[in-house]
Amino acid sequence: MKKIAIMTAGGDCAGLNSAIKTVVMSAINKGIVVVGIVDGFIGFVERKYIVLDKKTVENIETEGGTILGSSNKECPFHYPSKENKGMFEDRVKDSIKALKDIGVEGLIVIGGDGTLDSARVIHENGMPTVGIPKTIDNDMVASNPTIGFETAVENAVLAIRKLKTTAYSHRRVIVVEMMGRTSGYLTLYSGFAAGADIILLPEIDYNLNVVCKKVEEIMTSSKRYVIIAVSEASKESGKSETISRVIEDSFEQKRYGGIAAKLSEQIEKITGFESRPMVLGHLQRGGEPCSADIVLAAKLANSALNLLINNESGVIVGASNDVIKKISFPKKREARLLDLNTNEVYLTAKDMGVCFGN
């Protein structure tokens, strides 16, 4: 193999640059040229390529985001047509041909479920492809943890610690909304590590009365404030999720948002205690990666490169208890949610009296 390409797509996270750097450094040391595809599947379809040399990746492992850019909307087999507005086209075959025309023999795609589903289609259409899983949501079957999760937890914990001091001063309830889509990993791990009193997860529908009773119990005890960590896709029993927007041409069409504002208002009204909502949003995805993400991304990237070189493609490389494993590209999306019967963080928090709203 003389030339490969690499791309990042889907929502960004910390650790992507470490994966890019590893592929570039290891490939160049093996005499392989690495082409970077810019802006995810936009660059794949519209032939936006750059050559990545050692200079381009110098020190990037400590930087957040991705030097290649990303997009979490475009899909190469359902790509907006330039000629016919509002129509979509399958651009996989001609995009593969364009890469092959410049000598690319294999592709590494770093992304979440939607991205890696497109990677599967690219592989099936004749470009040997290996996937690397990343997402702050930690909801992929291929890896636990995924690249970006540990950093997002750290980012959220630092933010909640700051909220605790102001909540204390003002004797307030602060409702902190976390990302993570339908998986509660990010909210559970950061809520627990930051000492949240109430943690509301998408895996458990909450009862508003139970939440308010807990708030009253804490606010009338010696503690002056309450921190509630709530997942963006959490919902009250019998009610539906809070959706902020729907993006039609996106793999994951729903964007969640608004639960903290709603819940905060309800709590203040029912309990009489002053409450404020706080949406952590993209702060959880941004900033420099923690060491665990730098190391995880590097290990997975090196493994992906070696598989590609050894003609083992059509797979995703992931981590499980520090061991690198590979699985074939799955045919259908299956988000990995929290297993509440076995998850030790959940079971520990429950034993310690953290309220899960049920």
Q: Note whether 188 and 341 are within 8 A (CB).
A: no
The contact mask relative to ligand F6P for 38-77 (x = CB under 6 A, - = no) is: ----------------------------------x-----
Q: Does 134 bind ligand F6P (CB under 6 A)?
A: no
* C-beta separation of 178 from 147 below 8 A: no
| Cα–Cα dist 290/154, whole Å | 8
Give the Cα separation of 231 and 187 in Å (integer): 6
Catalytic pick among 117, 137, 139, 197: 137
For the residues of 163-181, what is the DSSP string, one character each?
HHHHHHHHT-EEEEEE--T
Residue 272: CB atoms within 10 Å: 12
Q: Which amino acid is at 275?
A: S
Fill in the amino acid letter for 226. Answer: V
By CB under 6 A, is residue 123 in contact with ligand F6P?
no
The only residue of 40, 65, 76, 180 in contact with ligand F6P, by rule CB under 6 A: 180
Q: Binding to ligand F6P by residue 188, rule CB under 6 A?
A: no
Choose one: 20-28, 29-37, 135-143, 153-161; the region binding ligand F6P (CB under 6 A): 135-143
For ligand F6P, the closer CB: 95 or 138: 138
Q: Which is nearer to ligand F6P, 4 or 140 (CB)?
A: 140
User: 92, 75 in Cβ contact below 8 A?
Assistant: no
Is residue 101 annotated as a catalytic residue, yes or no? no
Range 290-349, binding ligand F6P (CB under 6 A): none
The answer to whether 51 and 35 have CB atoms below 8 angstroms apart is yes
Identity (one letter) of the amino acid at 78? H
Q: CB 36 → ligand F6P: shortest distance, Å?
A: 21
Coil vs helix vs strand at 144: strand
Nearer to ligand F6P by Cβ, of 39 and 137: the residue is: 137
What does the DSSP 8-state code read for residue 56? G
* Residue 136 binds to ligand F6P (criterion: CB under 6 A): yes
Looking at the Cβ atoms of 76 and 148, the one nearer to ligand F6P is: 148
Q: Do 250 and 118 form a contact (C-beta atoms < 8 A)?
A: no
Q: Is 256 in the site for ligand F6P (CB under 6 A)?
A: yes
Active site residues: 137
Residues interacting with ligand F6P, by CB under 6 A?
11, 72, 112, 135-137, 179-181, 232, 255-256, 285
